[in-house]
Amino acid sequence: MNSIVEQKVEEIRSNISNDELEAMARPFTLADAIREGSTVSDQAYNWGDGENACALSAAVMSAKARGYMD
């Protein structure tokens, strides 16, 4: 992944509260990941570039921040 994605991963990690960490025991859906990733990026009208992310790119950022992906 590129460095912007990694920066956004760190931004999401810093925004996850202890309450949310405890809630991570519940199922984490693709929709959850898209919503969380979209909080640190702007909507892309293609695959995404720079600060813009498509839904799946936003989900990847969130999943990486939560340790579901490397």
Average pLDDT of span 7-33 = 80
For residue 51, pLDDT beyond 90? no
* Predicted local confidence at residue 41, as pLDDT: 92
Query: Taking the complete model, does pTM exceed 0.75, yes or no?
Result: no
Q: How far apart are CA 31 and CA 15, in angstroms?
A: 18
* Predicted local confidence at residue 22, as pLDDT: 65
Q: Name the H helices within the chain.
A: 3-15, 18-23, 30-38, 55-65
Mean pLDDT for the chain? 85
DSSP state of 9: H
Q: How far apart are CA 10 and CA 12, in angstroms?
A: 5
